[in-house]
Structures are given as C-alpha cells and as structure tokens.
Chain A
C-alpha cells in the first residue's frame, strides 16, 4: 500500500483521506486557501522568535502597561472557546442530543483557542522556561496559579476529546486498533465532559478573578463571595453565554465558505436560545455588580466611580456598550423565538454577544491598565507593536489551519451528509 500511495498523484491520496459522501474543494483550491494563512503563521512565528530570543522590548508593553494586546485576546479567545466545554456538558451530561451536530466542531474550536492562548502566554511571560515552577512551587492563593493549573489540565482534556475525531479519519479508522480505541474512548466521553466542565468553571472564573482581586486597581476590584470576587462568577456566565454563540457563528461562517448546509436549523435555534438566556442572566448580574461597584466598592476604596470615565478615551459609553448594546440587545434578539428564527438576526445576535464578551475582556485588561491610580498620574496610552499583532495573527492563522484541516479530513458536522442527501431528495 505505501508504494501504491507513493505512485498515486497527490489529489488521489488527498481524496482517500476525505470522508465518503463529503464533497470538499479540490486539493489545489484548498492549498490556495491555506497559503495566506501559512504566510501569516510564518510572520507571527518570526515575531514570536524575536520576543523569545531577544526580549519583550519588541512589544509596546512597558512597566506601567504590563498587560497588553496578548492578555486581552487570550482572555477573549478562551471565553469564546468555552463553547467546547459547555456544548460537551449539555450534550454528554444534560443529554441534549441535538448538540451532537456541533460538538466535534466545538471541540476543535476549543482546542485551537486554548492551545493558541497557551502559546501566546508562553511568549508573553518573560521566563517561559520557568513555567513549571507554578506547578512545583505553586502559590495557591494566586488566581493565576488556578488559571495555569486548570487551563493546562483542560487543554489535555481537549486534546483527548480531539483524539477520537482524528482516529475517525477515513484512513486511520481502517486500523482496527485505532477504531476500537476511538469507540471505547467515545463511550467514556461523559467523564471528560464532566472533568472539562469542572476545570472550565474554575479557570474561566479565575480569569475573571485575576482582575477582581486586584485591590490596588479600584477600577476592577470587586467584592465577592468567599475567596472569589464577583468577576469570577461573571466570567463563567459570560463565557457560557458567548460559547454557543461563537459555535453558531463559526458554523455559519463555514457554511458560507463551503457553500453547503452543515447543521439543521433547529440546532442554530438551540444554540441561540441557550446563548440568549444565559446572556440575559449575565446582563442582569452584571448590572447589579456594576451598581454595587459604583455605589459601594469603588467609593469605599476612595475612588468615586465616575472618575474612571473622565478625561479619557473610555467614557461611560463603554459601560453602555458593554451592558446594553452588546448585552441586552443580543440577549433580546436571541431569546425571542421569532427573531431567532431568522438566520440573519440570529447571526447578528451571536456576533453582538461575542463582541460583548470581547469588550468585557478589553475593559478588564486594556482599560484597567490605562487608568492611573496615583492622583498625579495621567491616563496611559498604549498601542501594540507589529510583533504583538503578528504573534496574535499567527494564532488566528494556526486556528484557521487546524480547523480547515479538521473540516476537510475529519467529521466535524455529522449532519452534513444527511443534509446533503435530503437537499438532493427535495
């Protein structure tokens, strides 16, 4: 067989790896699509190399602006990648069978988001080779320790959840050992879904807690429950709300790019409904939290809340955008069945919901760093360097590449064949 493969042209080898009945673009077209992404990946890899080999002066972060674009986007993609754990939880634990249609795609999204974020974090820290210290000599009181532990464990869980998808590739599953292991592993998936849920709860929360505990930063400092500030719970909820929206959004995007239907309308509806309801709950709690912060937490620490919105680019409109424009509005769109039923409205709602979580992460990182604490200090400006953009671009490219390969050679949407058959029949 290897010799037969070697003599066959690339296109026919390629076709052997594509599932039966799944029509995919030609190898040439696919290569053309990959090309710019590989270019971006190479550029970003060079930028990362610069930062790792010479130092972080290649970024525009500084002593006053210690967190920049990378931390902001890491938080964002981890929130958007929450679709993986939440879909898994709904499917395997709450037995919402409908979501089987998107679970594979959600796993790939989660895997790329988390692994990408880990790579950027490794570049972002000054001494990545010392990362093992956090495990070996952990300070368990630090939210960052919790984040590090949970994210690495969860990444391992995501990788395990990805293994069955790979083993189900048309050629790989011909090996009985792969197929049988996939079959047995898949039967135990509920364990991984539960572990993933537990880990996701804690690290999504801790990412919020990361900022909520900063008692020196009254703009983000929040009171809370036991050791957890309110941002801990708000982050969990907002990630759970944005996750299904992001899954719907990516599926829709792939449908548009591939020009075929991948999931049934009912699945979109379910994703939108779950996202909308959670978003509404989030907006409600976020509003209470904001009111508490304005009236109690911030003034209690000597900082009247309105001061944070004076004399800076970030006015109170940020608050409005975060809570109403990107919170209440998408929640309303996604909750109302008749609006959600229209694909355009549903996708608009999903985009707004994802933007809302992005804006929230932006406020907590970029805006927090920009606001001075010392009374004679000034508002700080920061704009990322090309290396920061490029390194992040590489992560996007990496995610697109992994997703593209997965879409081409693995079964990301089990309903695809069924929908293709029924569209032919009609």
Chain B
C-alpha cells in the first residue's frame, strides 16, 4: 500500500490503482472536513438561525410554500423559493408597483375572526406592531392564540437577545406539543410580556428594519381564509377529527378537542415548524 510496505511495486498498474484509491479517500475526507468547517463558520458568523429557517422552509410541502400573491389571486400557483422573505424579492417589488396595497378597514372579519389591521403579520402567525416610542410589540395572532389555548407557556428570549426575522425566536409548550415560533422582524429584545398581556416581546428594531415581507391590509382577508382552510386540512388527518368551528366561529381553545398528536400536527402546520 505504501512504498515502504512489503510487496509494493513501482509498476504502472499498482501506482494507478492506489493513486485512484488515495485520490478518492482524499476527496471524501476533505469534503467532510469542508462541511464541518463551513458548519463551524456558520456558527461563528451567527448564521445558524437563518439556516434553521432555510432548512425548515426547504422541507415544507409546496402547498404550504404558496406565494402571498398566489392567495390574493395575482399570481396563481406561484410557490415561494426564498423562505417567505419578500424583502429581496424582485417579483414582490414589481407587483407592489402594479397593485399598491389597498386601504383596509380597521377590522377584517374572516369566519368569525375579527382581525385588526393595525399591525403587520408574519406567515408564522406572529404580528409586529409599531409603538409610538419606535419599539415594536410582537405577539401571536388570533389563530396562533387559539392554538396556544387559554394558559399557554412560552419560552421567551431574555432582554438583550438579538433576534432575526424568520428565525425561531420563542417556543410554545403545551401538554403533548411543542412548537418553535418564528420572529417576524429583526431586532433586540427590550422586555418580555408580563402575564396576561396580549403581546409577548417588545423589540428594539434593527436600524435597517424592513417589513416588506410582512402581510398587511387587504391581503389579510385572503391569507386568513387560506390559513383556516389549512388548519382544517391539517386536522382532518386523523379519524373523528373535531370541528374547528363552533357555530361558524373558531373555537377559543383549539387544543381542547384535539389529541396530542393532532395538536402537534396543527402546531407544525400553523407555526411552520417542521
């Protein structure tokens, strides 16, 4: 195998054979090292949250990756390829020029849900609301809250933690189900919510904040309708699925009628947690 090993020959066949072998071994080992090194540098540069979201997004079925302009009817059948991040999306920018957002009433009603339009919504069912002092409040939207139930437990980041849009910033715990929840915007945590408030975090937004990827105004109606549809679909997996609606209105605690397995599935579908 090596020149100093008994039996080694400096013949063409021998050198060629072992040359190919050592080349293959070197390629395999160096590729592994490269992957390890790139992982290491991802950690060093703080790219981990982005990779986490990229990876989860990559695994979503195409139906769940529909572009926001698909459910408003502008671009039928378009599947998002950039992790629901419209901030850099050329198509989105172009469409904004063609169809500027229409003004919407303060409350939009979808299947009994009264959706306030004074805030920006993230595809992972969180919202961000600009406060007079320039900070942003972050909270769960109506569907998210119903999934979280009456007495949810959250693991929240401590004040001072930087968080990145689309990265898993907090997590929800319910008996039988856990879900990580995606941050809607970039910023630094200023404070976490006192008990019984309708928000979860107060953020100092990043100086380069863009909220272009968040949903607002008139498109919320189509989006919420679609999300309720998706919720029902995710729930119909098991036999004897409970109904989500109680007399046409979404029940307050969705989890109450679900098995832990169903709740788990619902959380995955709604909070985009793969």
| Chain A residues with a Cβ under 8 A of chain B | 12, 15, 19-21, 23, 135-138, 140-141, 145-146, 149, 153, 156-157, 160, 168, 173, 176-177, 179-185, 187-188, 191-192, 195, 198-199, 411, 414-415, 417-418, 420-422, 424-425
Contact = CB atoms under 8 A, between A and B. Distances in A.
Contacts of A418: 61-63
Contact of A146 (B14, B17, B269): B17
Nearest to B179: A20
Contacts of A146: 17
Given A140-B18, A424-B236, A192 B59 contact: no
Nearest to B8: A137
Contacts of B265: 20-21
Contacts of B27: 191, 195
Interface in B115-153: none
30 contacts: A12-B260, A15-B261, A20-B268, A21-B237, A21-B265, A137-B5, A140-B14, A141-B13, A153-B21, A153-B24, A153-B28, A156-B28, A157-B28, A160-B32, A168-B59, A176-B43, A176-B48, A180-B42, A185-B35, A188-B31, A188-B35, A191-B27, A195-B28, A198-B24, A417-B61, A420-B237, A421-B233, A422-B63, A424-B236, A425-B63
A153 to B, nearest CB: 6
Nearest to B15: A140
A183 B55 contact: yes
B28 A12 contact: no
A28 B15 CA distance: 56
A140 B16 CA distance: 9
Nearest to B236: A424
A414 B6 CA distance: 51
B95 interface: no
A136 B1 contact: yes
Contacts, number: 110
B61 A421 contact: yes
Contacts of A149: 17, 21
A181 B35 contact: yes
B7 interface: yes
Q: Which applies to chain A's interface (DSSP): helix, strand, loop or mixed?
A: helix
A21 B234 contact: yes
Contact of A183 (B31, B32, B54, B176): B54
A3 to B, nearest CB: 15
A204 B7 CA distance: 27
B51 A21 contact: no
Contacts of A188: 31, 34-35
A192 B31 contact: yes
B268 A21 contact: yes
Please tell me the size bucket of the interface on B: 35 or more
A104 B158 CA distance: 39
A176 B21 contact: no
Contacts of A183: 39, 42, 51, 54-55
B218 to A, nearest CB: 25
Contacts of B36: 181, 184
B274 A179 contact: no
Most buried by A among B28, B35, B48, B51: B35
Contacts of B28: 153, 156-157, 160, 192, 195
B186 interface: no
Interface in B158-201: 176
B17 A138 contact: yes
Interface string B232-249: 011011100000000000
3 closest A-B pairs by CB? A20-B268, A418-B61, A140-B17
Contact of A21 (B17, B260, B269): B269
Contacts of A140: 13-14, 17-18
A180 B48 CA distance: 7
B93 interface: no
B35 to A, nearest CB: 4
Contact of A180 (B34, B51, B236): B51
A185 to B, nearest CB: 4
A292 to B, nearest CB: 26
A146 B39 CA distance: 34
